[in-house]
Chain A
Amino acid sequence: MDNQLYLSSSPHIHSGETTERIMRLVIYALLPAILLSLIFFGLPALSVLLICTLGCIGFEALACRLMKLPNSIKDGSGALTGILLALNLPASTPWWISLLGAAIAILIGKMIYGGLGYNPFNPALVARVVLLISFPVQMTRWTAPTPLTSGIDAVSAATPLGEMKTAVMLTGKLPEMATSGFLNYFSGNIAGCLGEVSALALLAGGLFLIYKKVISWHIPVSFIGSTLAISAIFWLIDPSKYPNPLFHLITGGLVLGAFFMATDMVTSPVTHKGMLIFGFGCGLLTILIRLFGGYPEGVSFAILLMNAATPLIDRYCRPKIYGQVEQQA
C-alpha cells in the first residue's frame, strides 16, 4: 500500500507560521521594555516578572491537567500572558497579588473558556482589572524609578496621569508637569507600571512586530491616532484644563496597550476595516476615561470593552465573498 495516492484539500503550501513562533517574536519584542523596567525598578520588578510568568505557566499546566486537555504550555501563550501581566503591575506589587493575578489571568481569563483561541477577553488585562478593582491600595502604590545603583529601596510617587487627575479635580487646572517638561518621560523616567516605564522601548518592540508581520499596523495606528486626535480637540478647546496630546501618548499604558494588548489576535477583529474601528473605539474610550472617568488610566478598560464588542465588529465587517452579487433590495 506504499504507492497509495494521498489526497488532501488545500492549502498545500504552509508559511511556517505557528503559534509558538508568534509568541516567541512577541516576547522578543517586549525584551527592551523588560530590560529597561529591570534597570529602572531593580529587583522588585524582577520578582514581579518571575512570579507572574512562572505562575501563568504553572496554572496553565494545572488547568490542562484538570481539564484533560493536551498540555499547551509549550506554545508560549501562557508565558506571554504572564509577561504582559507583569508589565501591567507596579513594581511594589506583593508576591501574593502577582500570583493571584496569574491565576485569574489563566484560569478565569483563558482556560475556563477552553484555552487559547476561545477567550473573549485579553487574559492579562482581565487579571489587571480584577486586581485593580480588588486591591486599589496595593495596585496604585507606584514607585518612582529607582535604579539598582542608587542604594534606595523604593521611592513612592504618583503617576503622571494620577497627578493630572488629582490636580484637575482639586483646582480645575493642569499641574505644571503636564504642560511642560514631560518629554523626558519618553525615554523612561516615569512612575508607573513596569511596562509604562518607557514609551520608546515599547515603540521599538512594536515596530519590530509590524516589520515581522506578526501584527498589522491597523490597530496601533488607529488606536494611537484616535487618542491623539480626540485629545487634541479637547486640548484646543482649553489648554489649561486638558493636557497636550503628546502627554497622553507617552504617559500611562497607551503604547503598551496599542501595540501589545489590543493587537491580541484572539480578542481583536479579523478584518482590517474591523481593526480600524476597534482601534478607534479603544482610543475614544481611553480619552473619555482619562479625562472624565473615575480612574486616572483608561487603556485597560477601553481594550476590554472593545474586546466585548469584537464579535459585533466582525459581524458587520464580514468581507464579501468573491463573485457574490449584491442582493437587490
Chain B
Amino acid sequence: MSLKKIFTRGLWKENAVFKLLLGLCPVLAVTTNAENGLGMGLATTFVLLCSNGVVALMRNIIPSGVRIPAFIIIIATFVTIVQLVMEAWTYELYQALGIFIPLIVCNCLILGRAEAFASKRPVFSSLVDAIGMGSGFTLALFVLGAIREIFGSGELFGVTLFGAGYQPMLLMILPPGAFISMGLLLALMNKFENR
C-alpha cells in the first residue's frame, strides 16, 4: 500500500468516527463546541502518533502474549504527557475536557491502530497511518462540535454568528443533541455515498 493511500484512508475511507464508529465516547461527550472538539482531536492525534511510532519500533521485542498490556502502558505514558502538558498550557481546555483526557487511554481507535497496523508495519508507515487516522478523527470531532455549537449556542469558536433575534437550540449542546446530530450526519453521508 502506498503511503498516500495509507494517509487518505484514515482521513475519509476508513474514517474512525464516520465510517468505523470507533471512539464514540469522547466524540459524543466533548463536542459541545468546535474548540473542545478540535482540542480533543489534536490530543488524541498526538497520543496516536507517539504510540504508533513506539509500538512499531518495539514490534519485534514485545512478546505477543502480553502485547495488549504493553500497548496500553505505551499509550498511557503518552496520555499522561498530554494531560500534564494541557494542564500547564491550556488550562481552560483541560478543565472543559475533564475526565475525557485520561480516558484517551481506552480510546479503541488508538489501541486498534496499535494492534492492527503499528505492530506489523515499519515505523514510518505507522507514523503516516497515525497522522491519517488522527486527522480523520480530529476532522470528525471538529465538524460535530462546530455543528452543535452553531445550532446550540449560535457561535463558532466563541464568536457570535447571528443577530440578537437568533434563539439557540439548547438541546444541541446537551447529550441528546450529540446523538441526534451524529445520527443525522451519518444518514446524510450514507445517502450521498451510496448514490
Chain A residues proximal to chain B, CB less than 8 Å: 96, 108, 112, 130, 133-136, 138
Q: Interface range on chain B: under 10, 10 to 19, 20 to 34, or 35 or more?
A: 10 to 19
| B143 within 8 A of partner (CB) | no
* Bound CA span A108–B184, Å: 9
* Bound CA span A136–B174, Å: 13
| B93 within 8 A of partner (CB) | no
| B171 within 8 A of partner (CB) | yes
- Are A130 and B171 closer than 8 Å at their CB atoms? yes
- Are B187 and A112 closer than 8 Å at their CB atoms? yes
Chain B residues with CB under 8 Å of A138's CB are 167
**Pair count A-B, CB < 8 A:** 19
Partner among A96, A108, A112, A133 whose Cβ is within 8 Å of the Cβ of B170: A133
Chain B residues proximal to chain A, CB less than 8 Å: 167, 169-172, 174, 176, 180, 184, 187
- Are A134 and B170 closer than 8 Å at their CB atoms? yes
* Bound CA span A154–B172, Å: 31
Chain B residues with CB under 8 Å of A135's CB are 167, 169-170
Chain A residues with CB under 8 Å of B169's CB are 134-135
Partner among A96, A112, A133 whose Cβ is within 8 Å of the Cβ of B171: A133
Chain B residues with CB under 8 Å of A108's CB are 180, 184
* Bound CA span A282–B172, Å: 27
Chain A proximity of B6: nearest CB distance (Å): 36
User: Which of A112, A133, A134, A136 has the largest number of chain B CB atoms within 10 A?
Assistant: A134
Chain B residues with CB under 8 Å of A133's CB are 170-171, 174, 176
Chain B residues with CB under 8 Å of A96's CB are 167
Chain A proximity of B188: nearest CB distance (Å): 11
Chain A proximity of B186: nearest CB distance (Å): 12
Chain A residues with CB under 8 Å of B184's CB are 108
Chain A proximity of B189: nearest CB distance (Å): 15
* Bound CA span A130–B187, Å: 20
* Bound CA span A289–B46, Å: 45
Chain B residues with CB under 8 Å of A134's CB are 169-172
* Bound CA span A134–B170, Å: 4
The 4 A-B residue pairs with the shortest CB-CB distance, nearest first, are A134-B171, A134-B169, A134-B170, A133-B171
- Are A136 and B180 closer than 8 Å at their CB atoms? no
Closest residue on chain A to residue B170 by CB atoms? A134
* Bound CA span A96–B170, Å: 15
Given contacts A133-B171, A134-B170, A138-B167, 16 further A-B contacts (CB under 8 A): A96-B167, A108-B180, A108-B184, A112-B187, A130-B171, A130-B176, A133-B170, A133-B174, A133-B176, A134-B169, A134-B171, A134-B172, A135-B167, A135-B169, A135-B170, A136-B170
Closest residue on chain A to residue B168 by CB atoms? A134
* Bound CA span A136–B169, Å: 10
Closest residue on chain B to residue A131 by CB atoms? B171
Q: Provide 19 A-B residue pairs closer than 8 Å at the C-beta atoms, listed in order of the A residue.
A: A96-B167, A108-B180, A108-B184, A112-B187, A130-B171, A130-B176, A133-B170, A133-B171, A133-B174, A133-B176, A134-B169, A134-B170, A134-B171, A134-B172, A135-B167, A135-B169, A135-B170, A136-B170, A138-B167
Chain B residues with CB under 8 Å of A112's CB are 187
* Bound CA span A7–B184, Å: 45
Chain B proximity of A109: nearest CB distance (Å): 11
User: Which of B169, B172, B174 has the largest number of chain A CB atoms within 10 A?
Assistant: B169
Chain A proximity of B173: nearest CB distance (Å): 10
Closest residue on chain B to residue A132 by CB atoms? B171
Closest residue on chain B to residue A112 by CB atoms? B187
* Bound CA span A96–B171, Å: 16
Chain A residues with CB under 8 Å of B187's CB are 112
Chain B proximity of A132: nearest CB distance (Å): 9
Chain A proximity of B25: nearest CB distance (Å): 22
Closest residue on chain B to residue A94 by CB atoms? B167
Chain A proximity of B69: nearest CB distance (Å): 39
* Bound CA span A130–B179, Å: 13
* Bound CA span A133–B174, Å: 9
